[in-house]
C-alpha cells in the first residue's frame, strides 16, 4: 500500500465490518456488504428489511436510543467531555449520552469515529458496552474527538445555539422570547424534536404585531404547519383592530395578507375599516422612511398625488396589488360620503366604482333587495363587535338601504355571553341621528334577512369558535320578529371577536 500514489490511497482505503475479514468501501455505507449489514443489525437489534431502506439513519437512530436511554440514570463527571464541537467560531465540550440526543451530532460523531480508527466496529462496540444498563464499573477510556458543524442559517445566533446545547443537559431550558426564533432554528439543525416543538408552542402563544412576520416566515421556512396556521388565525382576528393601528402593519408579507383577506373568518368592524387598513398597508410599502402611523387623510392625499389619467390599481405600481383589493366587498361600503372619497382619491378603476354605485341604486329601487349578492359566506355585508373585559353590554347601530339594525353583545356572568341583532326604528329613543340625516329611511314593515353570527376567542393558545347556522328570517318592528336568534357563548376567553354577516335576499 505504501507504493500507491496518494490520490488513489483514499479511494482504495477499506474498513472491516463485523468480526470476520470481510471488507467494504467507506464511501458506500452498508450497501457494499449485505452480510456485514445483517450482523450489525443483529448487534443493534434493528430490523434488517428496514435497515436496507435507509441503513445510515436507522443505525444512528438505534444507537441514539441506546446511548440516550440511560441519560437520567447517569451522572456527568465534570471536566470529562468526550467530544469537542466546533461551531460558529466557538468550541463546546459535550458528553456522549447528551450528544446522542441530537441526530445531527450523532451522525457527525459516528462519521468521526469511522474516520479516526482502523477498526470503527470495535470502537462502536466498546462505546455501546460502556452505556449498557448495569455497567457500574469504571468506564473504559474513550478517545476524545473533535467534530465540526457548519451552519449557514442566519437565524442561528451563538446565544441561541448555546441554549439548544444546554437543553441537552437540562431538558427544560429557559428561553427568552427574543431568542426563541434562534433556538427554533438551532433545534431544527440539531434535529431536537422536543425542543423544536417547545419553541413552536412558545411562538404560538407569543404572537404580537411585532412578532407575527418573523414567526410566520419561520413556520414557512421549516414547514411547520402548526405555526403558520396559528399566525394566519391570529391575524384574521387582529389585522383590523390591532395590527392595522400600528407601524408593524408594514411588515406583513403580501402572501400572508392575501390568505387572511380571503378567509371567511376575517374580523372587521365594517368594510370601510378593512379598506382603510389595506390602504395604510400599501402606503407603508411605498413610504419606507415613515416610522409613525399617519392619519387617514395623509394616506388619501398620497394616493391622490398620482397621475389622474389612470387609477392607482391600473398603474404599474398598483397592478400587483389587485388580488388583495379583489378580496374586498366594496358593495359593503354604502355611505355616500365614503363612496365620494373613493372616487376623489382615484385609487380604484372607474369600472369598479360604477358597478358598486349601480348595485346600490338597484337595491334602493327594489326596497333593499340585494340581487347582486348570492353567497352569504363570500359576499355578505359584515360588521363586528370586539367585546372586551370591561364590557357588560356593547352594541353598534348600522344602516343599510333605509333599514336600521342594532348588533349587540351581552355579558351574563364571568363566562357566559350572548350576541344577537335586532331591527330598530329611526325614531327610537337613543337612535344616533347621524345614521339617517343624509340617508334613506324605509317604512317597510318587514325585511327578509339571511344572516349568520359567529364569535371567536383565544383560550390557552387555541381559538374557540361559536356560530349560528345560516338563518333566513323576516324582521319586523315588534318582538319577537324584530330580534334575531341569539348566539350563546360559554368561554373564559377574552376579548371575544363577534362577527355579523347578512344579506337582503330578493323578497
The cell for 259 is 390568505
Q: Is residue 245 part of a domain?
A: no
The pLDDT value recorded for residue 60 is: 57
How far, in Å, CA of 17 to CA of 34, rounded? 10
* 312 and 387 housed in the same domain: no
How far, in Å, CA of 173 to CA of 161, rounded? 12
* 443 and 349 housed in the same domain: no
Q: Give whole-number Cα distances, 233 to 169, 245, 462, in Å.
A: 35, 18, 10
- Given a contact cutoff of 8 angstroms between Cβ atoms, the answer to whether 18 and 40 are in contact is yes
How far, in Å, CA of 498 to CA of 452, rounded? 11
Q: Is residue 462 part of a domain?
A: yes
Beta strand pairing call for 23-24 and 90-94: unpaired
- Given a contact cutoff of 8 angstroms between Cβ atoms, the answer to whether 65 and 73 are in contact is no
Domain final residue pick, 173, 206, 239: 206
- For 171-215, the pLDDT digits (tens) are 788 899 999 999 999 999 999 999 999 999 999 999 999 999 999
How far, in Å, CA of 180 to CA of 367, rounded? 57
* 476 and 400 housed in the same domain: yes
Contacts of 355 (CB under 8 A, 6+ apart): none
* 278 and 345 housed in the same domain: yes
* 386 and 494 housed in the same domain: yes
For residue 483, what is the DSSP state?
B
CATH of the domain at 426: 2.60.40
- Given a contact cutoff of 8 angstroms between Cβ atoms, the answer to whether 410 and 417 are in contact is yes
The pLDDT value recorded for residue 10 is: 41
Alpha-carbon dihedral sign for residues 277, 283, 286, 288: negative
Phi, psi dihedral angles at 410 (to 5 degrees): -130, 135
436, 438, 405: which is closest to 422 by C-alpha? 405
CA 83 to chain centre: 37
Q: Which residues of 295-316 are buried (b: 16+ CB within 10 A; e: fewer)?
A: eeeebbebbeebeeeebbbbee
The cell for 270 is 365594517
* 323 and 354 housed in the same domain: yes
Q: Is residue 401 part of a domain?
A: yes
* 85 and 202 housed in the same domain: yes
Phi, psi dihedral angles at 141 (to 5 degrees): -65, 135
CA dihedral of 102, 103, 104, 109, whole degrees rounded to 10: 90
CA 33 to chain centre: 46
* 173 and 274 housed in the same domain: no
| CA-angle at 72, arms to 71 and 76, nearest 5° | 65
How far, in Å, CA of 315 to CA of 307, rounded? 9
| pLDDT tens series, the chain, 507 aa | 344 444 444 443 444 444 444 444 444 444 444 455 555 556 556 565 555 455 555 455 555 555 555 444 455 555 577 889 999 999 998 888 888 888 899 888 888 877 755 555 555 555 555 555 554 445 555 567 889 999 999 999 999 999 999 999 887 888 999 999 999 999 999 999 999 999 999 999 999 999 999 999 999 999 999 999 999 999 999 999 999 999 999 999 999 999 999 999 999 999 999 999 999 999 999 999 999 999 999 999 999 998 888 999 999 999 999 999 999 999 999 988 899 999 999 999 999 999 999 999 999 999 999 999 999 999 999 999 999 999 999 999 999 999 999 999 999 999 999 999 999 998 887 778 777 777 788 889 999 999 999 999 999 889 999 999 999 999 999 888 899 999 999 999 999 999 999 999 998
Domain final residue pick, 341, 366, 391: 366
- Given a contact cutoff of 8 angstroms between Cβ atoms, the answer to whether 204 and 461 are in contact is yes
* 387 and 355 housed in the same domain: no
3-class secondary structure, 437: coil
Contacts of 361 (CB under 8 A, 6+ apart): none
* 497 and 389 housed in the same domain: yes
* 385 and 280 housed in the same domain: no
Q: Is residue 62 part of a domain?
A: no
Domain interval for residue 401? 381-503
Contacts of 337 (CB under 8 A, 6+ apart): 438
Q: Is residue 322 part of a domain?
A: yes
Phi, psi dihedral angles at 357 (to 5 degrees): -60, -40
| CA-angle at 391, arms to 421 and 457, nearest 5° | 75
* 348 and 437 housed in the same domain: no
CATH of the domain at 166: 3.30.710.10
How far, in Å, CA of 29 to CA of 27, rounded? 6
The pLDDT value recorded for residue 256 is: 98
Q: How many CB atoms lie within 10 A of CB 416?
A: 12
Q: Is residue 342 part of a domain?
A: yes
Is the bond preceding residue 239 a cis peptide, omega within 30 degrees? no
Domain final residue pick, 206, 221, 249: 206
CA 307 to chain centre: 38
The pLDDT value recorded for residue 371 is: 94
Q: Is residue 45 part of a domain?
A: no
What total of structural domains would you count in the chain?
3
Q: Which residues of 343-367 are buried (b: 16+ CB within 10 A; e: fewer)?
A: eebbbbbeebbeebeebbeebbeeb
Beta strand pairing call for 90-94 and 145-148: unpaired
Q: According to DSSP H, which parts of 244-345 are helical? A: 254-262, 271-286, 296-304, 316-319, 322-326, 336-345
CA 315 to chain centre: 32
Q: Is residue 24 part of a domain?
A: no
Amino acid at each position: 500500500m505504501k507504493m500507491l500514489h496518494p490520490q488513489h490511497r483514499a479511494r482504495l482505503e477499506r474498513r472491516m465490518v463485523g468480526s470476520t475479514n470481510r471488507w467494504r468501501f467507506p464511501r458506500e455505507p452498508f450497501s457494499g456488504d449485505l452480510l456485514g449489514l445483517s450482523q450489525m443489525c443483529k448487534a443493534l437489534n434493528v430490523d434488517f428489511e428496514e435497515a436496507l431502506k435507509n441503513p445510515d439513519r436507522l443505525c444512528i437512530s438505534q444507537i441514539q436510543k441506546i446511548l440516550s436511554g440511560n441519560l437520567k440514570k447517569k451522572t456527568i463527571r465534570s471536566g470529562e467531555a468526550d467530544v469537542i464541537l466546533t461551531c460558529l467560531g466557538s468550541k463546546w465540550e459535550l458528553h456522549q449520552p447528551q450528544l446522542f440526543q441530537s441526530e445531527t451530532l450523532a451522525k457527525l460523531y459516528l462519521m468521526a469515529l469511522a474516520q479516526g480508527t482502523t477498526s470503527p466496529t470495535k470502537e462502536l462496540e466498546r462505546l455501546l458496552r460502556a452505556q449498557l444498563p448495569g455497567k457500574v464499573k469504571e468506564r473504559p477510556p474513550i478517545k476524545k474527538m473533535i467534530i465540526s458543524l457548519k451552519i449557514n442559517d442566519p437565524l442561528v445566533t451563538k446565544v441561541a445555539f448555546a441554549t439548544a446545547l444546554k437543553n441537552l443537559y437540562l431538558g427544560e431550558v429557559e428561553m427568552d422570547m427574543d431568542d426563541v426564533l434562534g433556538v427554533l432554528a438551532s433545534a431544527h439543525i440539531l434535529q431536537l424534536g422536543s425542543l423544536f416543538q417547545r419553541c413552536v408552542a412558545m411562538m404560538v402563544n407569543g404572537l404580537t404585531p411585532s412578532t407575527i412576520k418573523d414567526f410566520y416566515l419561520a413556520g414557512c421556512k421549516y414547514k411547520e404547519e402548526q405555526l403558520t396556521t396559528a399566525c394566519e388565525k391570529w391575524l384574521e382576528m387582529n389585522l383590523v383592530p390591532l395590527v392595522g393601528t400600528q407601524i408593524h402593519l408594514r411588515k406583513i408579507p403580501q402572501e400572508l395578507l392575501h390568505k387572511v383577506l380571503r378567509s371567511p373568518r376575517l374580523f372587521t368592524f365594517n368594510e370601510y375599516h378593512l379598506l382603510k387598513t389595506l390602504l395604510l398597508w400599501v402606503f407603508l410599502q411605498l413610504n419606507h422612511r415613515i416610522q409613525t402611523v399617519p392619519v387617514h387623510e395623509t394616506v388619501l392625499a398620497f394616493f391622490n398625488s398620482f397621475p389622474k389619467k389612470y387609477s392607482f390599481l391600473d398603474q404599474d405600481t398598483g397592478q400587483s396589488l389587485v388580488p388583495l383589493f379583489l378580496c374586498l366587498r366594496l358593495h359593503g361600503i354604502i355611505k355616500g360620503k365614503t363612496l365620494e372619497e373613493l372616487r376623489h382619491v382615484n385609487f380604484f378603476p372607474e369600472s369598479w366604482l360604477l358597478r358598486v354605485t349601480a348595485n346600490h341604486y338597484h337595491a334602493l329601487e327594489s326596497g333593499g333587495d340585494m340581487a347582486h349578492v348570492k353567497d352569504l359566506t363570500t359576499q355578505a355585508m359584515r360588521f363586528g363587535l370586539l367585546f372586551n373585559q370591561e364590557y357588560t353590554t356593547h352594541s353598534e347601530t348600522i344602516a343599510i338601504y333605509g333599514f336600521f339594525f342594532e348588533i349587540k353583545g351581552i355579558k351574563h356572568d364571568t363566562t357566559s355571553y350572548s350576541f344577537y341583532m335586532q331591527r330598530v326604528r329611526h325614531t327610537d329613543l337613543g337612535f344616533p341621528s347621524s345614521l339617517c340625516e343624509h340617508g334613506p329611511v324605509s317604512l317597510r314593515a318587514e325585511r327578509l334577512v339571511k344572516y349568520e353570527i359567529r364569535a371567536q376567542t383565544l383560550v390557552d393558545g387555541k381559538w374557540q369558535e361559536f356560530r349560528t347556522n345560516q338563518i333566513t328570517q323576516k324582521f319586523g318592528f315588534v318582538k319577537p320578529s324584530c330580534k334575531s336568534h341569539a348566539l350563546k357563548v360559554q368561554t373564559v376567553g377574552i376579548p371575544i371577536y363577534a362577527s355579523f354577516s347578512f344579506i337582503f335576499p330578493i323578497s
